[in-house]
Every structure is written in C-alpha cells, then in structure tokens.
Structure 1
Amino acid sequence: MIPSARRLSSTTCALTALALTLTALAACGANPASGSRDQAARATASAPPRPATLAPGPAGLTPVFKKAPRTPASAAPTVALTFDADMTADQGPRAAAGERFDNPALVATLRRLKVPATFFMTGRWAEEYPAQAKDIGRDPLFEVANHSYSHYAFTKRCYGLPTVPASRMRADMERAFAAFRKAGIEHQVPYFRFPGGCYDKRALRALAPGGVTAVQWDVVSGDAFATDADAVARQVLDGVRPGSVVVMHCTRSAAPTTERALRTIVPKLRERGFRFVRVSEQIRAAGEGRAAK
C-alpha cells in the first residue's frame, strides 16, 4: 500500500501531465492554415508595392511611356533622370583590353546629391560589372530597368546596331532580367528601354507577353560622346519640363562628361523647384491620371 503523502504527490503529477497533454492536443488541433495565412498577411503588409505599369496599348501591344502628366499647381514639378548602362554583347574584348563601360563617379555623385534615378541596364553590363550592378540595385535611391541583354536593335536601321530577330526579342529581354537576378539586383522594375530608342509594332508585339512598359524620354541630354559638360547641362536645362524623362548614360568611355554635367543640372533644377523622382513614380502618376479620366 502507498502511503497517503505519496498518493497525493502521484495524483498531482498525473493531473499536471494530463493538463500538458490536453494543451498539446489543443495546439495540434489548431488550424495550421490559419497561422500560414497570418504569416502571409504580415509578409504582404511589409512587402513594398509592385512597381506600376501601364495598361497594354491598342491590340494588346506593349505600352509606351514618354513623360509624366503635368503635376497640379500645388505640387512640385517632377523630373526623372535616367541612365543607360550600355554594353553590347560583342564588346567583351574591348572591356578586357581596358575600355571602361561603367562610371562609379557618376553613381557616387547621385548619392552625394541625394538624387533618385532609374538605371536602364543591359544584361551584358550586369555580367561585366556584377558588383556594381548589385550595389546600384540594392540602393533604395535607385531602381534598375531592362535595356535588353545584347544592346542590339529591335528594328532595322538603328544607328548601325546589329539587329535582334523578332523571334528572339522576348528571350533577349528575359536574358537581361536573368543576369540581374544572378548579380543580386534587388530593386529591378518591369520597364524596358529599346536600344537606341528604336521600336515598331513588331517589337511592341514581341515584348507584350512579358508584361513590361516600354520607357522612352522627352529630353535628350546629348551626353553620348560629348566633350563639353556645360553644353550637356545647357541642353538638359533648356529641355526639361514638368514630368520630363531625361535620357543620359552611365558609361565612361561613351559619355565621359555626364558626371560633371550633373553637378550643374541637379542644383539648377532644384532652384527651379523641381523634385527628382524615379520613373516608377512617374508611371504610377500616369496610370492614376488615366484611371481618373
């Protein structure tokens, strides 16, 4: 026979064990999907919104964006500086021989002046400069858009560039996005700039399944192969209007004066009351303006 004190102790232990068992069973009986839904909701709430795109154009063609709508009189006018990081698929030997297609000083100046910007990067450039591509693509000040993989033309007769066959156009674009992912670019956006700015309905039709918005410009900086930074700055300052998209370049060998021109362009436009934005902000404003009509 068990003494009474030991019987009480045993009873207490049994009750404790039973309570723990019931608690465990209750937890196991809970709906696991509920926890998953809660976690997914929290993740969705903390995730940044997907960059805006424009609705497909007529006949389902890739939409084309050139500039933002005029801002209300009560708001500061916006301007987007865009930089083409060009490198064609066949320029590897030139890079190996020492030609520089990057421009770290330009990126540093944008950061120092706190200027948001959109980089239209070729996949070949991202492969040649993966560390720089990753650095640009992880900076919340910037966003990286697609400028094709090869920087070959998507139409015939485009500044002497080799031509991408229509059957390969979408694959060329997708190859660039793959190069961005491999380089670790985080802030990539679903925008595409045609090499040379050359496109036709065939090219717009070829890229339509990719869900991108084609981005052109309304202000040409004239920095390509320019040697006079002041002339580049004057051309930009004379051309910018509220909502403008300025096309510039991020390649030392092909646009050696761009960084110096920026040192004039940025403070002068700020004096005029302009606010610098990324292209994604302008496209969102354009989309909201169309929806309101």
Structure 2
Amino acid sequence: MTSTPAGLADLVFRWREPATRAVSRLIPGGVIWYVDTADPVFALTFDDGPSPESTPRLLEVLQRHRAKATFFLVGERVEAYPELVAAIAEAGHEVANHLMRDERSALIPDAQFRLDLARTTELLEPHGPVRWFRPGSGVFTPRMLRSAAEQNLRAVLGTLVAGNKGLPSDERIAKSLLPGVRPGSILVLHEGGPERQGVVETTDELLSALSLRAVTVSDLVARSGV
C-alpha cells in the first residue's frame, strides 16, 4: 500500500498508473492511493453525497451489478438526508468521512478541521464503522493527516478521478477511465447536484464493461495483507 496526494476532483483525469505508482513511493504520508493485490477487484468510491438526485439511482445500479462501494459523505448533507445514508448502509455499502461541507479542506483552520472531521464521523457512526476520510478537493497537509490519525481515520485518495459536469463530454468519461482500472485501483466518482446526475450512467457503463469486481475500500485494503 502506498501514499500520495491526488486532486482535480471536478475534472475528468486519468492517471498514468505505472508512473504515478512509482512516484507515490517517493512521497511520505499515510494516504492510501491504491492497494497492491493480484485479486481481480478495485475500490469504487463516490464523493459529495448523499444526494436525492443521484444516490437512490446509484444504489439501484450497484445492486444490479452486484457491486459494492464506499460513499465519502458530506456532513451537512448527511444531516439533510439521513434516510439516504441509511439506505447506503442497508445495501451493504461503506460510509466514509468527507468532512462537513463541500470545500477545500486544506484551507480550513486546524481547530475547525478537527471539529468538522469529528462531527461528520459522529453523524455517520450510527450507520457503520467509519475508518476513512477524504479531504475536500483531494488536497491534504501533514497537520490534516495528524489530526485525522488522532481520530483513528486514514486518508484515502484514488488512482483515477472523474467528475460529471452535465456537459456532452460526460458521455466520454467511462471510456476514458476504463483503460486505467486495474486490480487494486481506487476509482473516485462524484455525485451531488443536478449537474452530476450523469454519474449514474457513467457508473453503469463502467460496471458493464469491466471484468474486475467493485468492492469497498475496506475490502480492498484487507486484500493487501497490511
């Protein structure tokens, strides 16, 4: 298992995996970026939910493909839509911490970061164990990692990142991502407002085309033997 920063949360971006895996070994930190495994699985993750526009439909797609995912949820949206968080957990998916608001976590003062992280975990814990957090916009600092570790949380970024924007280019997202998904990858997709509803179709297209099985982050990490 290795660590490195990743970002570009609102853009379609495909990492050149061999190069970025090599670079990640040179960057210190306890951030999970991918997992070394030969098992035919990858971790599927969604940021910025829950959302009434997309979460119920995503759950239907995941059920149809017998896929599991980790949802990195925003605290204020968890407060607004607790029934959606319950539906995620009841379907066997994993909930994780994406802090209280959809904002750049690296710009939040440390005291507020700690409070927001703890409050989001508190909101999520009724729905299952909370082991992971993902900083807003995928940017982290050493003090953020220290604060999270004190709360028994570990940062998870990803190998491949994409964001639907409600534009014609959304139709090309799945095709762009497919060549980069390999065993141990962590795929980051984004739900949220109406402009991101296309994530449902993107997810369906990806899961229809991939021979790898989608699992939660915890399942993927368990396969690393670490």
TM-score (norm 2): 0.79
Structure 2: distance between partners of 1:169 and 1:62: 18
Give the match for residue 79 of structure 2.
Answer: 127
Asked if the contact 2:96/2:124 (under 8 Å) is kept, the reply is no
- Superposed structure 1 runs of 4+ greater than 6 Å apart: none
> How much does 1:109 deviate?
1.2
2:58 pairs, out of 106, 131, 135, with 106
User: Relative to 1, partners in 2 of residues 1:110 and 1:228: Cα closer, same or farther, differing over 3 Å?
Assistant: farther
Per-residue CA distance 1:36-66 (angstroms, 9 max, x = gap):
xxxxxxxxxxxxxxxxxx9xxxxxx972101
Give the match for residue 151 of structure 1.
Answer: 102
Asked if the contact 1:83/1:250 (under 8 Å) is kept, the reply is yes
Asked if the contact 1:101/1:252 (under 8 Å) is kept, the reply is yes
Structure 2: distance between partners of 1:135 and 1:224: 25
2:42 pairs, out of 71, 75, 79, with 79
Structure 2: distance between partners of 1:113 and 1:275: 9
Give the match for residue 116 of structure 2.
Answer: 172
Unaligned runs of 5+ in 1: 1-53, 55-60, 88-98, 156-162
DSSP 3-state at the match of 1:241: coil
Structure with more relative contact order (C-alpha pairs < 8 Å, separation 6 or more): 2
Per-residue CA distance 1:61-80 (angstroms, 9 max, x = gap):
97210111031xxxx42111
Asked if the contact 2:48/2:102 (under 8 Å) is kept, the reply is no
TM-score (norm 1): 0.62
Give the match for residue 183 of structure 2.
Answer: 242
Per-residue CA distance 1:93-134 (angstroms, 9 max, x = gap):
xxxxxx966532122111122111110001111111111111
Of structures 1 and 2, the larger Rg is shown by: 1
User: Relative to 1, partners in 2 of residues 1:101 and 1:146: Cα closer, same or farther, differing over 3 Å?
Assistant: farther
Asked if the contact 1:120/1:146 (under 8 Å) is kept, the reply is yes
Supply the AA of the counterpart residue of 1:124.
E
> How much does 1:228 deviate?
3.8
Give the match for residue 222 of structure 2.
Answer: 284
Structure 2: distance between partners of 1:225 and 1:201: 34
Structure 2: distance between partners of 1:208 and 1:261: 33
1:139 pairs, out of 76, 91, 96, with 91
User: Relative to 1, partners in 2 of residues 1:227 and 1:110: Cα closer, same or farther, differing over 3 Å?
Assistant: farther
Per-residue CA distance 1:170-211 (angstroms, 9 max, x = gap):
211110112224xx42x3431000011011112112222111
Structure 1: distance between partners of 2:52 and 2:90: 22
DSSP 3-state at the match of 2:91: coil
Structure 2: distance between partners of 1:154 and 1:260: 29
Equivalent residues in 2 for 1:46-61 (5 A)? none
Unaligned runs of 5+ in 2: 4-27
DSSP 3-state at the match of 2:85: helix
